[in-house]
Structure 1
Amino acid sequence: MKYLYKYMPLRKEFFDNLMIRATPFAALNDPYEGLYNDEQFKTANKGVQKFAKKQGIPVEDVSDNFLNGVMDFIQLDFDAVGVLSFTEDYTSSLMWAHYADQHRGIVLEFDYDKPLFQDSTRKLGKRESRFGENYLGGFYEFPEKVMYRREILSFERYEQVQVNGEYPFREFLHDLFFTKSNDWLYEKEWRSIVQLSDADSIICRKNELLSKTLAKDKTIKVKNPDQDKIQIIYPSGYEMHEDMGDQSLKQEIALQIFSENANNINLFRLNPEAISRIYCGHRCDEDQVKKFVHSNSQLTHLKDNIYKMEIDRYSYQLNSNLVK
């Protein structure tokens, strides 16, 4: 895909900060997201062992208790990541109704060839990346297409294994990350999977221990959206000058709020140049959109790239026209 699209309500806050939310699996509107059963996992494990034996890799029999422990770790992988959802189609009436405030919102168009995130300075092949190589299958920075099916994945022909010390269930996780029911086919979804701990800003519950941890670094801004919550805002490029290992301050903060991940709001800074157009819903105030765009100097390239969706009078479709 050359372009991907993001439906969203019209909010001034977005144009002020250019951040989008990575939604935890537990907070998505599809109840099957992030779920799998014992049979799926154990069938996949048999495939891994079968393939390993063919490659001459020693395989030991393991107990059900051991496999249950592995499944606990896989669940932690699900709980630690969030989904950034995109679509191939900006003309879907259903999507406009469901995700863009009943046609009063907007759709952002993203140029797939440009880095999605701000501070993308690492090279992966010919692409610029923010988070670098994905060794263990814990995230997928570049959007990938979701596959749709009626039956849940059986993994009966699952015969892939990661060797050389890599996570042996990388492909198992990937398949679960990017598979949904046919009921959602109309969304034509592509998604990025990111670690919630990498968020540039997090809205979460306040507590005394968290406040003490945040006080260790004065470059981290803290706002109070309401009396029960705080918004943590890391400076741009924070991971470039802060030790991002397991003992980093950012990781310490992530661990302190991990149990509330499904309720936290994790925001990631977008690369402004990745946004190539804005489409206004047919009930949207396009003059308000123009005002928001003009107020942000990072979006000057969009001043002549704002479009308005209009209802076709002769067929059930939406057309777009340039806003002058």
Structure 2
Amino acid sequence: MLFASRTSFNDPYDSRSAFQVDQSDVGTKWLLKKFRTEQPHWSPAKRMLKVNQVQRRLKLPSIDRDDTELDSVGILCLTEHWNSMLMWSHYAKQHKGICVGFRRDIDIFRMALKIEYVSEFPVILRPQDDHNTILQKALLMKAECWKYETEWRVVKRPMSESEQIAIKQQNAYLPSKDLHLLTDSRGAGFYAFDKSAIESVTLGSRITERCVRDVIRSIDSAGLAIPIYVVEPPNHKYQLVRKDFQRGSMAFPIEI
């Protein structure tokens, strides 16, 4: 399963956000509280001096570093519904491809997070936005015009070996499968998943016989006993309808 980098997305605004140094009273108070907690022996004057230093440092250009880190994150994009005409047109080779249905309670699909569709460009506030908030704003928010996708994402950021060890120690009570799921995070690239997570396969209305044979062969070689559907050709309604695919006859609803 490919977890793609945001650099390969068709929308240049997708997974992008603005960085802003928060020099408002809120940002200043946040830093003062942080230093008060971490360095209680510092005088008020020293804490204020450190606040000014941090705010000046955060203003320095770091776009390249931020972009490099976010570019390396792997993202799996999923949708809630199989029957979107736009999704078939955009992502399934103009209805010549397939739609694979997955179970939400198995393997990596348990980690899927729902996309939030917003009207304003997300702004990451420094220094108070933590790592998870940055990932949320940068990778899990999209423009409202994409709302039809009803998208969910699984995010895999590069994880250091020391971080993996720490997570395993903190969650030692979990089954080994769950620990692997939490720590197998290498950024963009291919990831294996439990084949039992595959729930169904739907063939597009324009799929070719050759493609069907390849799909059936793959399903059989994996030993999967799952329903296979085929989308019927246009029926004078703006609606996709699917029916059970008859494997034995290799019958197609359209001419090949």
Q: TM-score, normalised by structure 1?
A: 0.55
- The Cα of 1:110 is off from its aligned counterpart by 0.8
SS in 1 for 2:60: helix
Which of 124, 128, 139 is the equivalent residue of 1:177?
Answer: 139
Residue 87 of structure 2 corresponds to residue 95 of structure 1: yes
- The Cα of 1:63 is off from its aligned counterpart by 4.3
| Structure 1 letter corresponding to 2:115 | V
| Structure 1 letter corresponding to 2:8 | A
Which of 136, 139, 151 is the equivalent residue of 1:189?
Answer: 151
Q: In structure 1, how many angstroms separate the alpha carbons of the residues matched to 2:239 and 2:200? A: 20
Root mean square deviation, CA, Å: 3.6
Q: In structure 1, how many angstroms separate the alpha carbons of the residues matched to 2:112 and 2:55? A: 37
Where does 1:139-158 land on structure 2 (aligned, <5 Å)? 142-154=111-123
Equivalent in the alignment of 2:240: 318
Relative to structure 1, the CA distance from residue 42 to residue 105 in structure 2 (aligned partners, 3 Å threshold; closer, same or farther) is: same
| Structure 2 letter corresponding to 1:90 | W
| Structure 2 letter corresponding to 1:41 | Q
Equivalent in the alignment of 2:231: 309
Is the CA contact 1:311–1:317 (under 8 Å) kept in the aligned structure 2? no
- The Cα of 1:190 is off from its aligned counterpart by 0.6
- The Cα of 1:312 is off from its aligned counterpart by 5.7
Q: In structure 1, how many angstroms separate the alpha carbons of the residues matched to 2:30 and 2:15? A: 26
Rg larger for: 2
Residue 21 of structure 2 corresponds to residue 42 of structure 1: yes
Equivalent in the alignment of 1:293: 219
Equivalent in the alignment of 1:136: none
SS in 2 for 1:191: strand
**Structure 1 residues 146-202: Cα deviation after superposition (integer angstroms, max 9, x where no partner):** 1112221246xx79957xxxxx3431332221111122122111111113689xxxx
Which of 22, 32, 36 is the equivalent residue of 2:13?
Answer: 32
Relative to structure 1, the CA distance from residue 160 to residue 195 in structure 2 (aligned partners, 3 Å threshold; closer, same or farther) is: closer
Relative to structure 1, the CA distance from residue 68 to residue 322 in structure 2 (aligned partners, 3 Å threshold; closer, same or farther) is: farther
Higher helix proportion: 2
Equivalent in the alignment of 2:200: 277
Equivalent in the alignment of 1:12: none
Relative to structure 1, the CA distance from residue 197 to residue 307 in structure 2 (aligned partners, 3 Å threshold; closer, same or farther) is: farther
Structure 1: unaligned runs, 5 residues or longer: 1-19, 118-126, 128-141, 163-167, 199-236, 245-250, 255-260
SS in 1 for 2:113: strand
Which of 68, 83, 90 is the equivalent residue of 1:76?
Answer: 68
| Structure 2 letter corresponding to 1:296 | A
Identity over aligned pairs, percent: 25
Is the CA contact 1:279–1:307 (under 8 Å) kept in the aligned structure 2? yes
SS in 2 for 1:41: strand
| Structure 2 letter corresponding to 1:32 | Y
Q: In structure 1, how many angstroms separate the alpha carbons of the residues matched to 2:23 and 2:228? A: 48
Where does 1:125-140 land on structure 2 (aligned, <5 Å)? none
Q: In structure 1, how many angstroms separate the alpha carbons of the residues matched to 2:232 and 2:68? A: 45
Is the CA contact 2:108–2:154 (under 8 Å) kept in the aligned structure 1? no
Is the CA contact 1:50–1:159 (under 8 Å) kept in the aligned structure 2? no
Which of 7, 14, 21 is the equivalent residue of 2:2?
Answer: 21
Q: In structure 1, how many angstroms separate the alpha carbons of the residues matched to 2:72 and 2:105? A: 27
Is the CA contact 1:106–1:279 (under 8 Å) kept in the aligned structure 2? yes
